[in-house]
Amino acid sequence: MERFDPVQSSDATDALRSYGEWLQSRVSPDDALLAATRALGGHRPRTRRRWVVAVAVAGLLVISNVGLAAASDSAVPGDPLYGLKRAYEQVGDLLGVESHASERLREAEVLLARGHNDAALQAADEALEELNIPSGLGPFTDDVGEPAASNSELKALTEDLVSLARVVHESAKDSDSRQAAIEAVREQAKRVADMARSLSQGQGPTEDPGQDNGQGQGTPGSDHGGGPSDDSPSNTAPRNPNSKGRQP
């Protein structure tokens, strides 16, 4: 094999070497330094893997969040996903969602249908708070006793309250009908508060034998027509939302 030993250095190989040295000298030290720094800082494949992992995790989070958000959307107080729903609402607040009144009202309706008057009252109270209507329900919604929780008259009153609150929610701002509905809500909230108070204190409402458990609590916007069902001061209040005769 020695016969192939390339001992001879022709003009061509000398020219090639010279050319090679020239080419290498054409790369400035600054460029070389920059390239080395970039290579050390780049670490592209690992970065790419990190990106893949990050995107995958983000994707899973988005998918799971969307699924959970959808699943929790119909939750009401007492449901396992309700806390998550409220958490998403707080995120919505950060993003500029102005009111959750409609959602609270829907929850109140669902809870009333399930017979959970106490929780429905709380939801209604929160709805009124969202609608900026001082309800006076707060002190009672947290401490509704067993009689109140199962009382059908209180349930009917609360249904009316929710119906009225929905009218307020759906009416145009600064409209006369809205103002009237707000007044009606205040009146109805007072009745509900009085009823809840009396029930929690063990003083059941004076039932009018001629009426069927408060179904006569008709108010504007509600499905219930008729007059008051008991003699309590609150229930003697005018039902007309345009009336100025509110109890103090």
Partner 1 sequence: MDERPVGTGHRVTRNVSASWPPPLSAVQAAVSGDRHALHGILTDGYPRMVGFFVGIGLNRHEAEDLAAESSLEVVISIARLRSPQAFEAWFWAIARNRLRTTFRKRRVPRPVDAEVSPATPEETAIISEEHARIRSAMSLLSTRDRQLLWLREVEGLSYDDIGSRLGATVGTVRVACHRARQRLEDVYTRGEEK
* Contacts with partner 1, residue ranges (CB under 8 A): 1, 4-7, 9-13, 15-27, 29, 31-33, 35-40, 42-46
> In the complex, what is the shortest distance from the CB of residue 47 to partner 1, in angstroms, rounded to a whole number?
10
> In the complex, what is the shortest distance from the CB of residue 43 to partner 1, in angstroms, rounded to a whole number?
6
Burial code of 226-246, b = ≥16 C-beta within 10 A, e = fewer?
eebbbebebbebbbebeeeee
By beta-carbon proximity to partner 1, the closer residue of 13 and 243 is 13
Q: Shortest CA distance to 192 belongs to which of 244, 243, 133?
A: 133
> In the complex, what is the shortest distance from the CB of residue 77 to partner 1, in angstroms, rounded to a whole number?
55
Q: How far apart are CA 228 and CA 190, in angstroms?
A: 13
> In the complex, what is the shortest distance from the CB of residue 53 to partner 1, in angstroms, rounded to a whole number?
17
By beta-carbon proximity to partner 1, the closer residue of 20 and 227 is 20
By beta-carbon proximity to partner 1, the closer residue of 14 and 231 is 14
Tokens standing for residue 229: 């069902």
Under a CB-based contact definition with an 8 Å cutoff, are residues 135 and 189 in contact? yes
By beta-carbon proximity to partner 1, the closer residue of 19 and 51 is 19
123 alpha carbon, distance to own chain's centre: 13
